[in-house]
Amino acid sequence: MRKRLFDARWVQVSLGAFGAAYLRFVYRTSRFTVEPPDVYERLDGNLPVILAFWHGQHFLMPFIKKPYHRARVLISRHRDGEINAQTAQRLGIGTIRGSGDINKGKFHVKGGPVAFREMLSTLEEGINVALTADVPKISRRAGLGIVKLAQQSGRPIIPVAIATRRRIEMKSWDKAAINLPFSRGAAVAGDPIFVAADTDRDGLEAYRRRVEESLETCTRRAYEMADGKADA
C-alpha cells in the first residue's frame, strides 16, 4: 500500500511542492555565513563547474545558486528521486536522471551511462552540474564517477558543504541532516580540483581521495561554524 501510494504521480508532485516550500522557509528564516567570502568571484571565474557534496547534506544546496547561474542536478530514477526532482525543479534547478550502483553492478540498469553523457553535454553547454560524490549506500566515501566526469569534461570539481545549527540528524546510511528554520547556517566551499585528461588509474584514485578529503574538511568546517564552535 505504501509503495503504491508513493508511486502515485500526484503524491510525488505534492511532496515535491511541499519540500520546495519548506526549504524556502528554512532558508529565508535562517542567517548564513559563506566561506571563503569571495567564493562567488572564484566560482564565476571557473564556470561551468561540477559541484560536489555529500548525500544527506544536500537539501539546501539549491540556494547557493545565484540568479544568473544555470545548473542541473543528478538525481536517481527511484521513486524517492522523483520527489527530489520535483523539489529541485521548483527551486529553479534542472535535473539529470540516473545513477550507477557500482557495488551491485547496476550501473547500466540505473541509467548511469546515459546520465554521464548528459552531464558531459550539460557542461559543454556552459551549465553547471551538481551531484553527490558518495559511492551509493556508502556514506562519506567519494566514488570515481565524479573524478572521471572532471577528467573527461575538463571542468573543475568544487566541494561544497552546508550546515545549520538547528537540525534533525537521521540514523540513515547517509547521515542525513534535516535542516530546521530560524537557525544559523554556514556554507563552505573548497578549492577547485582540476583533473588532467591524461591522468592514469593511480592518478584518478589520488584525485578521488582529494575530493573526499576536501569534502570532509568543508563539512567539518560548516558544522563548526553553524554550531558556533569556530570563528566565522
Q: Which residues contact 82 (CB under 8 A, 6 or more apart)?
A: 12, 16
- Express each pLDDT in 191-229 by its tens digit: 999 999 999 999 999 999 999 999 999 999 999 999 998
State in words which class domain 2-226 has.
alpha beta
Yes or no: say if 174 and 54 are a contact pair by the CB < 8 Å rule.
yes
d(CA 129, CA 109): 22
Neighbours of 35 (CB within 10 A): 17
Would you kindly state where each structural domain of the chain is located, as residue ranges? 2-226
pTM: 0.89
Yes or no: say if 116 and 149 are a contact pair by the CB < 8 Å rule.
yes
Q: At what angle do helices 112-124 and 145-153 cross, to 10 degrees?
A: 40
- Express each pLDDT in 125-175 by its tens digit: 999 999 999 987 788 999 999 999 999 999 999 999 999 999 999 988 888
d(CA 99, CA 191): 26
Of the pLDDT bands very low, low, confident and very high (cuts 50, 70, 90), residue 1 is low
**CA atoms 133, 137, 141, 144: torsion sign:** negative
- Express each pLDDT in 178-195 by its tens digit: 999 999 999 999 999 999
For residues 136-154, one letter each, b for 16 or more C-beta atoms within 10 angstroms of the residue's C-beta and e for the rest, the string is beeebebbbbbbbbbbebe
Of the pLDDT bands very low, low, confident and very high (cuts 50, 70, 90), residue 103 is very low
